[in-house]
Structure 1
Amino acid sequence: MYGDKIAELRQARSLTQYQFAPKVGIKRAALSHYENNRREPDYKTLIRIADFFKVTVDYIIR
């Protein structure tokens, strides 16, 4: 799921949730919800995450 991809990308760069969340303009709690597949990020947030990691939105959601 998309949350697994986000967590994988974040961990591959040795970033904590506390370090990564502000870089894409979200709160750490929201990131936790995304990574645990409890909530879905909106499209603008998905774009910011994809841009940060230099991947496509498709890569994250598939």
Structure 2
Amino acid sequence: MFDERIRELRHSLGINQVEFGKRLNVTKQCISNWENNNIMPSIDMLIRISKTFSVSADYLLGLENRQTLDVSGLSAEQILHLQALINDLKRN
């Protein structure tokens, strides 16, 4: 599950393995090994990955299926706009 989640999230950002590796200060081969389910990252790296994608470690590990959206720093009005957009996208 982890391998699928990070590949999906990396693609959603539109970055390749090299770019993702640079963000985490690891090699492309390390990213490739994670995505091919050859190795798992350390706990510290798992935390860095979850922060990079703004998802929980539980989501990355497949323990939960719900993604969350960090809205800290946004006004109540901005949050309502986001919620309306999300609801509209779910309907379509």
Shared fold (TM-score greater than 0.5)?
yes
TM-score (norm 1): 0.95
Larger radius of gyration: 2
Sequence identity of aligned pairs in percent?
A: 32
Which ranges in structure 1 are unaligned for 5 or more consecutive residues?
A: none
Look up the match of 2:43.
Answer: 43
TM-score, normalised with respect to structure 2: 0.65
CA offset at residue 25 of structure 1? 1.8
Calculate the aligned-residue CA RMSD, in Å.
0.6
Q: Which stretches of structure 1, 4 residues or longer, exceed 4 Å deviation after superposition?
A: none
How much does 1:26 deviate? 1.2
| Larger RCO (alpha carbons 8 Å, 6+ apart) | 1
- Normalized per residue, the structure richer in helix is 1
Structure 2 counterpart of 1:56: 56
